[in-house]
Amino acid sequence: MMYQRGVRGAVTVENNSPEALKSAVVELISSLINANNLKEEDISHVIYTLTDDIDCVYPAKIVRDEFPKWKYIPMMCVSEMKIKNSLEKCLRILIVINTTLAQQQIKHVYLKGAEKLRQDLK
């Protein structure tokens, strides 16, 4: 049976520059692809959230430039809620996929300090 599942990930960015965001986005997407054997035809849509201290470029644009096969995947970029003492310079991602995997088989990826967001997944 086929299910829709969410694949989560997050990464912090060194600074608010297109180069730093590109590096973080490519690393995170590549890690999620490898960890879950993602195929573009299985992806329903992608949502990116960014903390308000990242405003240099849309992550979806980076992904379309760096991963051309993702060209037709619907993507949306939105601002993360501002919460006191929350992680700064953080990009989060939710990739919704069609899969036969069970929920607990999905591998979520948290990099560069973002691991503290989901310590329960270790």
Residue 80 annotated among the catalytic residues of the structure: yes
Find the angle CA(2)-CA(61)-CA(78) to the nearest 5 degrees. 70
Catalytic-role residue among 8, 27, 56, 115: 8
Residue 27 annotated among the catalytic residues of the structure: no
Catalytic-role residue among 27, 56, 58, 77: 77
Choose among 80, 85, 75: nearest CA to 53: 80
Residue 40 annotated among the catalytic residues of the structure: no
Residue 5 annotated among the catalytic residues of the structure: no
Residue 8 annotated among the catalytic residues of the structure: yes
Residue 92 annotated among the catalytic residues of the structure: yes
Alpha-carbon torsion 97, 18, 85, 79, what sign?
Answer: negative
Catalytic-role residue among 5, 48, 90, 92: 92
Residue 77 annotated among the catalytic residues of the structure: yes
The conformation of residue 80, written as its DSSP 8-state character, comes to: P
- Catalytic residue annotation: 8, 64, 77, 80, 92, 110, 118
